[in-house]
Structure 1
Amino acid sequence: MAHNADANRAAKRWLWLLVIPWIAMIWVPSYNKVEPQLGGFPFFYWYQLFWVLASAIITAIVYFKTKTRSNSGASAGDAR
């Protein structure tokens, strides 16, 4: 039981990674500019596109680090 509580605490620490993209996108003055351009796109647009991709990667990392391992240890009798 104590091991399960420690695992839950460790899993909750990974959830803090999800705050990074939120802060990056909510703080508009940090990216509300035209320069530097990348491929002809103003900074405002490619910065947001970058965070779409980065958020997907961060979400995947958090998912795999926090998903329960009990599903992988299910017995054969539970399968349908």
Structure 2
Amino acid sequence: MWILLLLPFIGLLWVPFYNFLEPALFGFPFFYWYQLAWVPISSLLIWLVYRRLPPDEAA
């Protein structure tokens, strides 16, 4: 489960992967909305990893 926490790092640190203007979403270039989309995705991944921890390690 801990490997899930690497996804935001890989997805956001590799800039050539998302350094584009198109496709735009609500007038925002891909560069911006891709980064903003990772905020809730990262929160969900952190929550999933936290929920999978045993109760003594989660506190």
What is the TM-score with the length of structure 2 in the denominator? 0.89
In the alignment, the residues of structure 2 paired with residue 20 and residue 43 of structure 1 have an alpha-carbon distance, to the nearest angstrom, of 18
- Structure 1 segments (4+ residues) deviating >6 Å: none
In the alignment, the residues of structure 2 paired with residue 33 and residue 51 of structure 1 have an alpha-carbon distance, to the nearest angstrom, of 16
2:55 alignment partner, SS class: coil
| Correspondence 1:40 to 2:27 | yes
Task: Give the structure with higher Rg (CA).
Answer: 1
Q: Which runs of 5+ in 2 are unaligned?
A: none
Query: What is the RMSD computed on CA atoms of the aligned residues?
Result: 1.4
Q: Which runs of 5+ in 1 are unaligned?
A: 1-13, 72-80
1:8-62 Cα shifts (integer Å, max 9, x gaps): xxxxxx1110001110001000001100000000000000010111000000000
2:24 alignment partner, SS class: coil
